[in-house]
Amino acid sequence: MTRLSRGTLVIDVERCKGCELCIDACKPGVLAMTNERRNDMGYLYPELTPGCTACHACALICPDFVFQVWRYDEPVAAGDALR
């Protein structure tokens, strides 16, 4: 079953300091930290999976202003080619 995304993010991974506040803050639970990939500062950073609702909780709680939050005009099914 494909999840619908009502919103999406742009994540400035180089600014992230790996605090993981966004992971818990995300209501749909669609953010997860990388396992191995790190940014130039050496931190793990968050990645997005389908199901974002554009609630912007991540952006509100992030201490480092890592997130740009977008709401799609039409919800997007996961697996669709376009961003």
Judged by the rule CB under 8 A, the positions of this chain that interact with other proteins are 5, 7-12, 15, 17-21, 23-25, 27, 43, 47-50, 52, 54-57, 59-74, 76, 78-79, 82-83
Strand partners, 8: 70
What's the rounded Cα separation, in Å, for the pair 8 and 71? 6
Do residues 66 and 16 lie in contact, with contact meaning Cβ atoms separated by under 8 Å? yes
- Cβ atoms of residues 7 and 54 within 8 Å: yes
